[in-house]
Chains A and B, each alone.
Chain A
Amino acid sequence: MALTELLTLEVLIPWLLSMIFGIFVGATPGLTATMAVALIVPISFNLPANAGLAMIIGVSFTAIFAGDIPATYLRIPGTPASASATLDGHALAQQNRGRFALILNLWCSALGGLLGVAALIFIAPQLATFALKFSNFEYFWLAIFGLSLSAVVSAGHTVKALLAAALGILISTIGIDTSVGTPRFTFDSVALTGGIQFIPVMIGLFGLSEVFRNVLRKSDVSPDAARPAEKVSMLEVWSTMWKRKSTIAKGAVTGTVVGALPGAGADIAAWASYGIAQRTSKEPDTFGKGALDGVVAPTSANNAAVGGAWIPALVFGIPGDAVTAIVLGALMMHHITPGPEIFTHHADAVHSIFTIGLITQVLLLLAGYAGIRAFGAIMRCPRHLIMTGVVIFSIVGAYSLQNRFFDVWIMLGAGLLGFFLDRHGVPLPPLILGLILGPLAEKKLRAGLISSQGNLTDMFTQPICAALVSMLVVIFLGPPLWKIWKSSKA
Chain B
Amino acid sequence: MAMSKALALFSFLQLCWLTACAPPQTASDGSDFPNRNLTIICPWAAGGGTDRVSRFFADQLEQALGKPTIVTNRTGGGGAVGHSAGATAKPDGHTLLMGTFELSTMHGMGISHLTHEDYEPLLQVNADAAAIIVRSDSPWASVGDLIEAIKAAPGQVKMSGTATGGAWDLARAGFQLAAGLDVKDVLWVPTEGSAPSIVELLGGHIDAVCCSLAEAASQIESGQLRGLAVMAEDRVSGFDGVPTVKEAGIDWVAMGWRGLLVAKDTPAPIVTTLRETLQTIAESDAYLTFMKQNRFGHEVKVGEAFSDFLAAQDAQWQKVIAAAGYAK
Nearest neighbor of B74 in chain A, beta-carbon distance: A402
With A325-B48, A325-B195, A329-B47 already in contact, the answer to whether A175 and B190 are too (CB < 8 A) is no
Nearest neighbor of A449 in chain B, beta-carbon distance: B189
Point out the residue from A132, A190, A328, A341 that lies within 8 Å of B222, measured CB to CB.
Answer: A341
| Interface residue stretch chosen among A30-38, A156-164, A280-288 | A30-38
With A175-B76, A194-B80 already in contact, the answer to whether A451 and B206 are too (CB < 8 A) is yes
What are the residues of chain A within 8 A of B295 when measuring CB–CB? 332
A214 interface residue (CB < 8 Å to B): no
B121 interface residue (CB < 8 Å to A): no
B218 interface residue (CB < 8 Å to A): yes
Point out the residue from B78, B187, B219 that lies within 8 Å of A181, measured CB to CB.
Answer: B78
A354 interface residue (CB < 8 Å to B): no
| Interface residue stretch chosen among B125-133, B161-169, B256-264 | B161-169
A326 interface residue (CB < 8 Å to B): yes
Interface size class of A (residues with CB under 8 A): 35 or more
B23 interface residue (CB < 8 Å to A): no
A191 interface residue (CB < 8 Å to B): yes
Point out the residue from B46, B189, B196 that lies within 8 Å of A326, measured CB to CB.
Answer: B46
Contact flags B86-112 to A (C-beta < 8 A → 1, else 0): 000000000000000000000001111
Point out the residue from A35, A197, A339, A403 that lies within 8 Å of B219, measured CB to CB.
Answer: A339
A460 interface residue (CB < 8 Å to B): no
A319 interface residue (CB < 8 Å to B): yes
Nearest neighbor of B80 in chain A, beta-carbon distance: A193
What is the distance, in angstroms, from A74's C-beta to the closest C-beta of chain B? 27
Contact flags A305-329 to B (C-beta < 8 A → 1, else 0): 0000000100011110010011011
In the bound complex, CA of A333 to CA of B293 (Å) = 5
- Contact between A34 and B77, CB atoms less than 8 A apart: no
In the bound complex, CA of A490 to CA of B51 (Å) = 66
- Contact between A38 and B47, CB atoms less than 8 A apart: yes
B275 interface residue (CB < 8 Å to A): no
- Contact between A451 and B77, CB atoms less than 8 A apart: no
- Contact between B224 and A340, CB atoms less than 8 A apart: yes
Contact flags A163-181 to B (C-beta < 8 A → 1, else 0): 0000000000001101111
Residues of A440-484 at the interface with B, using a CB-CB cut-off of 8 Å, are 443, 446-447, 450-451, 453
In the bound complex, CA of A42 to CA of B51 (Å) = 12
B191 interface residue (CB < 8 Å to A): yes
- Between B47, B51, B158, B224, the greatest number of chain A beta carbons within 10 A of the residue's beta carbon is seen for B47
In the bound complex, CA of A178 to CA of B169 (Å) = 13
Count A/B pairs, Cβ under 8 Å.
155
Point out the residue from B46, B72, B200, B294 that lies within 8 Å of A332, measured CB to CB.
Answer: B294
- Contact between B200 and A181, CB atoms less than 8 A apart: no
- Between A41, A136, A180, A312, the greatest number of chain B beta carbons within 10 A of the residue's beta carbon is seen for A180
With A195-B76, A338-B222 already in contact, the answer to whether A34 and B46 are too (CB < 8 A) is yes
Residues of B31-81 at the interface with A, using a CB-CB cut-off of 8 Å, are 45-49, 51-52, 55, 59, 72-78, 80-81
- Contact between B203 and A133, CB atoms less than 8 A apart: yes
B221 interface residue (CB < 8 Å to A): yes
List residues of chain B with CB under 8 Å of any chain A CB: 45-49, 51-52, 55, 59, 72-78, 80-81, 84-85, 109-112, 155, 158, 163-166, 187-192, 195-196, 198-200, 202-206, 217-219, 221-224, 293-295
Given contacts A178-B192, A328-B218, 12 further A-B contacts (CB under 8 A): A34-B47, A180-B190, A190-B77, A195-B77, A262-B196, A316-B224, A317-B219, A325-B195, A332-B217, A332-B294, A339-B224, A403-B72
List residues of chain A with CB under 8 Å of any chain B CB: 34-35, 37-38, 41-42, 132-136, 175-176, 178-181, 183, 190-191, 193-195, 197, 262-263, 312, 316-319, 322, 325-326, 328-329, 332-333, 335, 337-342, 402-404, 443, 446-447, 450-451, 453
CB pairs A–B below 8 angstroms (25 shown) = A34-B46, A132-B203, A134-B203, A175-B76, A178-B163, A180-B190, A183-B77, A191-B81, A194-B77, A316-B202, A319-B195, A322-B45, A322-B46, A322-B47, A325-B48, A325-B195, A332-B293, A337-B221, A337-B222, A339-B221, A403-B74, A443-B192, A447-B189, A451-B158, A451-B189
Which 9 interchain pairs have the tightest Cβ spacing?
A339-B222, A194-B76, A193-B77, A317-B218, A326-B47, A132-B203, A38-B46, A194-B81, A135-B205
